[in-house]
Structure 1
Amino acid sequence: MRRLLACVAALALGANAALSQQGGDAVQGQSAILRGLDKVNGQTQDLEVPVGSSAEIFGVIVNVMDCRYPADNPTGDAFAYLTVRDPNDGTVFFDGWMIASSPALNALDHSRYDIWVMRCTSA
């Protein structure tokens, strides 16, 4: 449990540090652009998911709770709060923040699929 709390704290600090380096506050985006990878066949899929909505990417359901980006740099480093779950039984594979520039910092742990945040959209 301590390791989990330490990882969450490091993720939050990493997001704040990335934002501070870019010199500004975060703006909430309207949607998140996500990329999915099926590790078995190498197929990728990009999908835009509005904040507060969910979508199926390959064999998982992704809920986008929040997506933020630097106010002074809309194409800058985005970070999004995602929940990734199994569509059949609701098993949660991931629940937390992902940072676009550092997807491995807090990554989805799934045997077949990977999901990354690419960016947020403002309109």
Structure 2
Amino acid sequence: MRHLARLAAASAILCLSAAPAFADKYPVAVFSGLDKTTARVTSFSVKVDEPAQFGSLEVLVRACDKRPPEEPPQTAAFLEIRQIDRDDDSVQPAPIFEGWMFAESPGLNGLEHPVYDIWVTDCKTASGGASTGSE
């Protein structure tokens, strides 16, 4: 019986970590980022497969999926986040985060960093200029 409970728990985790079912693909992910040293929240957009910088972090979106309006809401982005070493540009740093982030559950699989918090808020079809401000 314990084996069945473990199997059910593993299945639930796999379902939560997978991309949204029947989701539409979008070319741009929208994020909010918190700089903990200044307490400033910044909203910014990142195109899929084009790295963007937030503070000393490089954000690379691999996919941004969003369910259609008639489905239960679920927006997810698969991304890689790297810490940029300003002293050594020759070495590509390893990702400090790699995985899916979910807009409806920002605490489920978030970036754990001493200076920055980043969470996905939306997927969209076009990128606009990054806006700065509190949310």
TM-score range, shorter chain: 0.7 to 0.9
Counterpart Cα distance in 2 of 1:78 and 1:91: 26
Taking the aligned partners of 2:70 and 2:30, their CA distance within structure 1 comes to 16
Match of 1:120, SS?
Answer: strand
The reply to whether residue 63 of structure 1 matches residue 60 of structure 2 is yes
Q: Identify the residue that residue 3 of structure 1 maps to in structure 2.
A: none
Q: 5+ unaligned residues in a row in structure 2: which ranges? A: 1-8, 86-90, 127-135
Match of 2:15 among 13, 21, 24: 13
Counting matched residue pairs gives: 110
Q: Which has the higher helix share?
A: 1
Q: CA deviation at 1:99?
A: 0.3
Indicate how the Cα distance of structure 1 residues 86 and 73 shifts in structure 2: closer, same or farther if over 3 A, else same: farther
SS in 1 for 2:109: coil
For residue 111 of structure 1, what is the aligned residue in structure 2? 114
Question: Structure 1: which 5+ runs fail to align?
Answer: 1-5
Compared CA separation, residues 110 and 86, structure 1 to 2 (3 A) = same
- Counterpart residue identity of residue 121, structure 1: K
**Quick one: percent identity of the two aligned structures?**
33
- Residue in structure 1 matching 2:123, options 108, 120, 123: 120
Structure label with greater radius of gyration: 2
Q: CA deviation at 1:19?
A: 4.7
TM-score normalised to the size of structure 2? 0.71
Considering only aligned residues, what root-mean-square deviation do their CA atoms show, in Å?
A: 2.5
Shift of 1:44: 1.2
In 2, Cα distance between equivalents of 1:58 and 1:73: 37
Preserved CA contact (<8 Å) 1:19 1:26: yes
Q: Which amino acid aligns with 2:53?
A: E
The amino acid of 2:109's aligned partner reads: N
TM-fit CA distance, 1:15: 5.7
Q: Specify the SS of the correspondent of 2:81.
A: strand
Instruction: Say which is worse superposed, 88-97 or 63-72, in terms of deviation.
Output: 88-97
Q: TM-score w.r.t. structure 1 length?
A: 0.78
